[in-house]
C-alpha cells in the first residue's frame, strides 16, 4: 500500500465527520462568518449546526463570539490557528490519497 | 479527475461572490468614481472653486475605506444584507495551497490568476496610453470592456444590458471632441456609472430574492 493511502489512518476524526468537514471548509474560505451564513452554506438545521459547532469549539478548532453589527446581533464563528492547521493537514492527506487511488485505478 | 475532497477553492469563490451579491461594494465604489469624475469636469470649468477638493477628498476616503477597512460597505450591509442572508467576511485571497486542490481546481486557480493579471495589465496600459497619447485609447478600452462584460453576462446569465453604460461612454468619447482632461474625467465617470448600474441591478435582484423578514 502506498504511503499516501497509509496516512489515511492518521486522519483527524473530529474533522472527518461530513457536517463538520463542511463547516470547516466554509470557515477556512472566509475569515469569519455568522451562524445564518453557515446555515445557508452548509444546508444544516439550526440544532445540527449548533451541536457540531459546539463540538468543534470544545476541540478548540473554532472560536465563537456573540457580537453586534449595527443593531443586528451576530454569532460569529472563526477558525482557530489549531483548527486551520488541522484542516490543512486533513485536506492534504485526503487529496494525496484520492490521487493515489485514482492513479492505481488507471 | 475527481474534485478535491474539501473544495476550498469553490468555497472561497462562493464567499467572494457572496460579498458582491448585494451590489453594495460596486455601488460604493461607483459613487467614489462618480464624485472623482464630476470633480475633474467641474475643476476644469471653474478652476478656483473649492467644491472639487471636497469631492476628491470624499472620493479618496471612500476608496481607502473600501481597500483597508470596508466600514462604509459594512455599515450598509449590516442594515440590508446580514439580517437577510447572514454575515461572512470576504476571503483575503482566492489563492489556495495547490496540495489541497484537485488537478481541475489547480487549473481553475491558475486561469483565474492569469485573467486578473491580464485585466490589470490592460487597464494600466490603456490608462497610460490615454494620458500620454490619444483619447481614443480610453474609448477603445470602454468598447473592449463593454464587449468583455457582454460576453461574461451571457455566460453567467446576467442581463444583456449590463454593459450599456460603458458602451455609451465609449460612444461619447468617440463622438465628442473632448480635450485630454475631459477625456480622463469622462472615462472615470463612465466606469463610475457602470459600477453604479451593475450594483443597482445586483441590489434590486438581491432584494427581490430575499425580501425582509417580518
| Probe site for chain B from A18, A27, A30, A35 (most B CB atoms < 10 A) | A30
Question: Is residue B164 very low, low, confident or very high in pLDDT (cuts 50, 70, 90)?
Answer: confident
A14, with CB counted inside 10 A (0-12, 13-18, 19+), is middle
Question: Is residue B177 very low, low, confident or very high in pLDDT (cuts 50, 70, 90)?
Answer: low
Least confident residue range of A25-34, B61-70, B125-134 = B125-134
Domain boundaries along the sequence of chain B: 3-91+103-209
**Per-residue pLDDT, B118:** 85
The mean predicted confidence, pLDDT, of chain B is 83
Locate the chain A residue with the closest alpha carbon to B75. Answer: A70
* Among the listed residues A98, A89, A6, A87, the one whose alpha carbon sits nearest the alpha carbon of residue B5: A98
Place of cell 481607502: B64
Q: Is the ipTM, as predicted for this complex, more than 0.85?
A: no
pLDDT, tens digit (0-9, with 9 covering 90-100), for B109-159: 888 888 888 888 877 877 777 666 666 777 777 888 888 888 877 777 778
**Per-residue pLDDT, A34:** 93
pLDDT, tens digit (0-9, with 9 covering 90-100), for B12-51: 888 988 998 999 999 999 999 999 989 988 888 888 888 8
**Per-residue pLDDT, A54:** 95
Average pLDDT score over residue span B69-73: 88
| Probe site for chain B from A7, A20, A29 (most B CB atoms < 10 A) | A29
pLDDT, tens digit (0-9, with 9 covering 90-100), for A68-103: 877 778 899 999 999 999 999 998 888 888 888 777
**Per-residue pLDDT, A105:** 56
Please name the member of B77, B82, B100 whose beta carbon is closest to the beta carbon of A91.
B100
Average pLDDT score over residue span B56-80: 89
Chain B residues touching A4 at Cβ < 8 A? none
**Per-residue pLDDT, B1:** 37
Please name the member of A21, A31, A34 whose beta carbon is closest to the beta carbon of B6.
A21
B92 Cα to chain A: minimum distance (Å)? 7
**Per-residue pLDDT, B134:** 66
Where is mean pLDDT largest: A20-29, B97-106, B176-185? A20-29
pLDDT, tens digit (0-9, with 9 covering 90-100), for A30-49: 989 999 999 999 999 999 99
Question: Is residue B202 very low, low, confident or very high in pLDDT (cuts 50, 70, 90)?
Answer: very high
* Among the listed residues B137, B127, B87, B108, the one whose alpha carbon sits nearest the alpha carbon of residue B13: B108
- The reply to whether residue A92 touches residue B7, judged by beta carbons under 8 angstroms, is no
Please name the member of B1, B8, B86 whose beta carbon is closest to the beta carbon of A29.
B8
**Per-residue pLDDT, B13:** 86
Sequence-distant contacts of B26-29: CB under 8 A, at least 24 apart:
B26/B195, B26/B196, B26/B198, B26/B199, B26/B202, B27/B195, B27/B196, B27/B199, B27/B200, B27/B203, B28/B62, B28/B66, B28/B72, B28/B73, B28/B76, B28/B199, B29/B62, B29/B63, B29/B66, B29/B192, B29/B195
Cα B180 to Cα B38, B124, B135: the distances in Å are 15, 17, 6
Chain B residues touching A76 at Cβ < 8 A? 87
A81 Cα to chain B: minimum distance (Å)? 16
**Per-residue pLDDT, B214:** 59
**Per-residue pLDDT, A31:** 83
Amino acid at each position: 500500500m502506498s504511503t499516501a493511502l497509509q496516512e489515511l489512518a492518521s486522519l483527524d476524526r473530529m474533522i472527518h465527520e461530513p457536517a463538520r468537514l463542511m463547516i470547516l471548509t466554509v470557515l477556512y474560505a472566509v475569515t469569519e462568518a455568522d451562524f445564518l451564513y453557515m446555515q445557508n452554506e452548509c444546508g444544516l438545521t439550526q440544532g445540527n449546526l449548533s451541536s457540531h459547532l459546539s463540538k468543534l469549539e470544545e476541540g478548540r478548532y473554532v472560536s465563537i463570539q456573540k457580537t453586534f453589527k449595527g443593531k443586528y446581533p451576530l454569532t460569529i464563528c472563526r477558525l482557530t490557528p489549531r483548527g486551520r492547521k488541522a484542516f490543512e493537514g486533513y485536506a492534504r492527506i485526503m487529496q494525496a490519497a484520492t490521487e493515489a487511488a485514482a492513479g492505481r485505478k488507471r | 479527475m475527481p474534485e478535491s475532497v474539501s473544495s476550498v477553492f469553490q468555497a472561497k469563490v462562493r464567499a467572494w461572490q457572496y460579498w458582491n451579491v448585494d451590489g453594495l461594494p460596486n455601488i460604493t465604489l461607483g459613487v467614489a468614481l462618480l464624485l472623482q469624475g464630476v470633480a475633474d469636469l467641474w475643476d476644469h470649468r471653474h478652476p478656483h472653486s473649492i467644491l472639487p477638493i471636497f469631492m476628491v477628498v470624499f472620493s479618496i476616503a471612500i476608496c481607502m475605506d473600501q481597500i483597508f477597512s470596508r466600514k462604509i460597505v459594512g455599515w450598509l450591509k449590516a442594515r440590508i444584507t446580514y439580517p437577510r442572508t447572514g454575515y461572512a467576511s470576504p476571503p483575503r485571497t482566492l489563492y489556495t495551497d495547490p496540495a489541497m486542490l484537485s488537478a481541475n481546481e489547480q487549473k481553475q486557480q491558475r486561469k483565474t490568476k492569469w485573467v486578473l493579471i491580464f485585466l490589470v495589465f490592460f487597464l494600466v496600459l490603456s490608462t497610460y496610453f490615454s494620458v500620454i497619447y490619444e483619447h481614443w485609447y480610453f474609448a477603445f478600452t470602454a468598447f473592449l470592456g463593454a464587449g468583455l462584460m457582454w460576453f461574461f453576462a451571457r455566460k453567467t446569465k446576467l442581463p444583456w444590458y449590463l454593459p450599456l453604460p460603458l458602451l455609451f461612454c465609449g460612444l461619447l468619447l468617440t463622438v465628442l471632441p473632448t480635450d485630454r482632461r475631459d477625456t480622463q474625467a469622462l472615462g472615470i465617470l463612465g466606469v463610475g456609472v457602470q459600477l453604479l448600474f451593475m450594483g443597482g441591478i445586483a441590489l434590486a435582484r438581491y432584494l427581490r430574492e430575499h425580501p425582509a423578514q417580518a
